Amino acid sequence: MIDPVVDLDGIRALPEPVLFADVRHYLDGRSGRAAYDRGHLPGAIFVDVDHDLAAPGSAAEGRHPLPSPEAFAECMARLGVSDDDTVIAYDDAGGVTAARLVWMLRVIGQDAALLDGGVEAYAGALETAVPDRPRATFTARPWPPERLAGIEDATSASFVVLDARQPERFRGESEPIDPRAGHIPGARNVPCRENVGADGRFLPVELLRRRFAAAGVTDGASVVSYCGSGVTACHNLLALERAGLGPGRLYPGSWSQYSATDRPAAAGA
């Protein structure tokens, strides 16, 4: 398995050609597809977070439940992603949305990584043409249960529970999307957008380890990662892996599921 984050030099060193995947996605009404159409890396496909990487949302399951393995395989095959492809995903936000695709592929054993620095790291001319990729063969593989967490895990003292949202949402000062403000009691805030520096590239491994250590993550710790809907939480999981701190578990329902229940919510830091 390749590293979870690679730069352009690292991509050139890979033994096989790679497939770029554009996973730009916005919560403010902008269209990720429109951004892709205005310019994307050569040969890149567009992967839609809402439709390609999630099942329909609900109060019971959250805004972005994981799709069934069969639905995900059908989507990848339709987009031209094969079992043998190495997928390099990117966005324009430090990888916080592209991480969802990378995590989904890696947990089923397929080589995938984030492009460090995202679309801005590419110095060449962007393309507007949509690649005509034929349908591929992509095998449906189950989501490994040991890489997933449910609502009981996210409230268990057996795990270090990390909240990837921005601090104001964690503290309960702002909640623009989900039913209630606040966070899961006992969770620690590790905002995923701070895994990268001002240049949009990942922090050095030692700094990542310090960030997670400050949240109680040490070598061998069992970690559950959540966010608003299970998308940006994947960024923390990839950062954990990059830092050598283990794979961790994704709580797919995340705050969008938890906040729709009558379970207690915490506020403040």
Distance CA 48, CA 50 (A): 6
The confidence band for 17, taking pLDDT boundaries of 50, 70 and 90, is confident
Average pLDDT of the chain?
Answer: 96
Of 3.40.250.10, 3.90.550.10, 3.40.47.10, 3.30.565.10, the CATH number of 145-258 is 3.40.250.10
Active-site position among 75, 192, 227, 234: 227
What is the rounded CA–CA span in Å between residue 185 and residue 194?
Answer: 22
Class of residue 143 by CB neighbours under 10 A (exposed 0-12, middle 13-18, buried 19+): middle
Residues 5-121, CATH architecture: 3-Layer(aba) Sandwich (3.40)
**Which whole number is the average pLDDT over 45-58?**
98
CA distance 149 to 131: 36
* pLDDT tops 90 at residue 251: yes
Domain with CATH 3.40.250.10 in the chain: 5-121, 145-258
Instruction: Give yes or no for residue 163 having a pLDDT over 90.
Output: yes
Q: DSSP character for 237?
A: H
In the prediction, which pLDDT does 16 show? Answer: 78
Separation in Å, CA 97 to CA 11, 82, 149, 173: 20, 21, 20, 23
At 155 the pLDDT is 97
**Residue 36 structure tokens:** 């892709």
CA distances for 29 relative to 6, 25, 26, 132, 180, angstroms: 29, 9, 6, 28, 21
Mean pLDDT of 169-197: 96
Question: How confident is the model over 213-224, as a mean pLDDT?
Answer: 95
pLDDT surpasses 90 at 269: no
User: Is-catalytic flag, 75?
Assistant: no
pLDDT at position 119:
97
Tokens in use for 6?
A: 């690679």
